[in-house]
Amino acid sequence: MTILPPSTFIQQILELISTIANLLTLLISLYLLCVVIYYFIHSNSIRRRQILKDMSIRLSLNTHCLLIIRSILQFIDIDLNTIKRNYLSIQKFENSFICRFRGYLLLSIHNCLYWSYTIQAVFRFIRVIFPNYISLCQSTISFCIFISIQFFFGFICMFPIFIGFNAIYLLPNEPYCTASYNKLASLTYMPIFAFVLPLSTIAICYLCIAWKTRHITIIRPYQHRNRRDFLVIRRMILIITAISMVSLPLLIDLFIHLPKGYIDPYMNSIGWVSSSINAVILVIGLPFINPKLYELFKRKTNMIHVQG
């Protein structure tokens, strides 16, 4: 059992912003999911089969569901504990296995979220570079393989942080368990698997699709689809660039204080504010990344207007 000191005013402000942004992500995600369900229920059987068979929509909805899970886990593991300390004057928290396991789950879901964008890019890469295999990529088995790869990288790659390096624990002056910034494994191993590798894979897919679109003569229907896939991956990179810019304050804080052997007391609060704002950007940007998902939302809106 650890007795934590009261949080400072700045910490409370940062944690409040993080909680509000996280709840906003959850509300938007649930609303958009309800939109999809509503449209699916009110569509005819042919349109339902088309939606279920469309791999791009299924992969986008997979990312959408991960955003919902991520927001719920963050509220339970991070936001709820900061509310207890800041507003209910609860200062006793335990560095238990359950606490550390919840921290591992949250970090793993974060990792899965970034890898879900990667498998969307890989799917479009296969569709452009190997069009003869597109029927295989549209199958349910392929969808299960994509999701399995996503969760493998999400959970297995984070497992050494949890067990091997023991870098997830109840942080000093914080009421929750997560990866510590003063552990070398957290600063090197985790960013590589959670951010660098997914972004690098997306960038490689983007370059390959760009090369084929511009340098190889393609049948007109394929050409239109390839250009659309090219635009989708470019939008992914723009979204990832935007969330990287939001994370700059945390990176600057790390570079300033860690070489001095000093941990900024606001570092974790800044990190979760960045994470929550990033989630808002991801959930708003998701329909604009996938044209078919955006079109689905537009059709649902038109259905409501017609019924009204």
Cα angle: 53, vertex 50, 132; to 5 degrees: 50
Neighbouring CB atoms inside 10 A of 301's CB total 12
Cα 58 to Cα 61: distance, rounded to the nearest angstrom: 5
pLDDT of residue 191: 82
Contact 38, 264 (CB under 8 A): no
Say if CB 264 and CB 253 are below 8 A apart.
yes
Burial of 5 (0-12, 13-18, 19+ CB in 10 A): exposed
Torsion angle of alpha carbons 292, 294, 295, 300, nearest 10°? Answer: 130
Which CATH homologous superfamily contains domain 2-300?
A: Rhodopsin 7-helix transmembrane proteins (1.20.1070.10)
Distances (CA, A) of 70 to 5, 30, 88, 104, 113: 28, 12, 24, 12, 8
CA distance 221 to 224: 5
> Which stretches in the chain have pLDDT values below 70?
1, 215-222, 260-262, 299-308
pLDDT at site 307: 47
pLDDT score of 305: 45
CA quadruple 110, 116, 117, 121: dihedral positive or negative? positive
On the CB side of 168, CA atoms within 13 Å amount to: 24
